[in-house]
Amino acid sequence: MIIAPSLLAADCTRLGKEAERAGRSGADWLHLDIMDGHFVPNISFGPAIVAAVRPRAKKLFFDVHLMCSKPEILLEPFVEAGADEIIVHVELGDRVAPLLWKIRSLGRKVGLAVNPLTSIGKVQSFLDKIDLLLVMTVNPGYGGQSFIHECLPKIQQADAWRRERTLSYRLAVDGGINYSTVAECAHAGADTFVAGTALFRQPNLRAAVQKMRKIAHANDPALADLKV
């Protein structure tokens, strides 16, 4: 089970300190949401911020999620900034295959994301080319939105394909993940959990990560009532 706090929900006046806090929290990854104001109706941060926080959390795996219309021009800058994995969206259509190939050729892990309104069938032909499939459980663009329960069957389907085809991509969920929805997603087959608001907004991030991990492992919604 991988727990990946999303820096989008951190205190943006002190991103360096927040990255350090994530580094000390027992989390495995730091998730970095890159929004370009075109693919999604919001703007977040770019390679300079990722490069600046990279040395503050040396042990964390940097998971860069590109919600961008032109990822082609951003792959090299994010690799140089310290990305360990780069995720692009399947909604980019014909451009997906060359993008996945390019990320691989840059020596980074390859991720593919699918929006709530996009059929899960669209990812099927790429499953043997990726290290991670990110099932979006909110419409991308903002942190703090409510989990869309209708996405759960997509997780089950992606998990079934993984077993049927003996593939080993990670199955990640992103958006509205909290102590209750993490259990539902784990039950559906997810093994990688991106959470912004539910983790960074807790004063004790370490305890919050530990609790989320425990619930994901136990795969039992009843544990969601545990006190942090």
CB-nearer residue toward Zn ion: 33 or 184? 33
SS3 166: coil
By CB under 6 A, which span of 20-28, 98-106, 142-150, 185-193 interacts with ligand DX5? Answer: 142-150
Mention every residue, 6+ apart, whose C-beta is less than 8 A from residue 147.
137, 138, 175, 176, 177, 178, 181
CB-nearer residue toward ligand DX5: 45 or 167? 45
Q: CB under 5 to 8 A by kind: which of ligand DX5, Zn ion, none does 138 bind?
A: ligand DX5
CB-nearer residue toward ligand DX5: 65 or 154? 65
Give me the 53-72 binding string for ligand DX5, x by CB under 6 A, dash otherwise: ------------x-------
Read off the tokens for 195: 């959470």
**174 in contact with Zn ion (CB under 5 A):** yes
Q: How many CB atoms are closer than 10 A to CB 48?
A: 10
Residue tagged active-site, from 33, 84, 220, 225: 33
Q: Give the Cα separation of 7 and 83 in Å (integer).
A: 14
Q: Quick one: 94 exposed, middle or buried, by C-beta within 10 A (0-12, 13-18, 19+)?
A: exposed
Is residue 174 among the annotated active site residues?
yes
**89 in contact with Zn ion (CB under 5 A):** no
Is residue 33 among the annotated active site residues?
yes
One of 65, 89, 108, 170 touching Zn ion (CB under 5 A): 65
SS3 60: coil
Whether the CB-CB separation of 63 and 111 falls below 8 Å is answered with: yes
CB-nearer residue toward ligand DX5: 70 or 165? 70
Paired strand residues for 170: 132
**92 in contact with ligand DX5 (CB under 6 A):** no
CB-nearer residue toward ligand DX5: 13 or 168? 13
Paired strand residues for 194: 4, 174
Q: CB under 5 to 8 A by kind: which of ligand DX5, Zn ion, none does 57 bind?
A: none
CB of 183 to ligand DX5, least distance (A): 15
Mention every residue, 6+ apart, whose C-beta is less than 8 A from residue 58.
23
Give residues in contact with Zn ion (CB under 5 A).
33, 65, 174
- State the catalytic residues: 33, 174
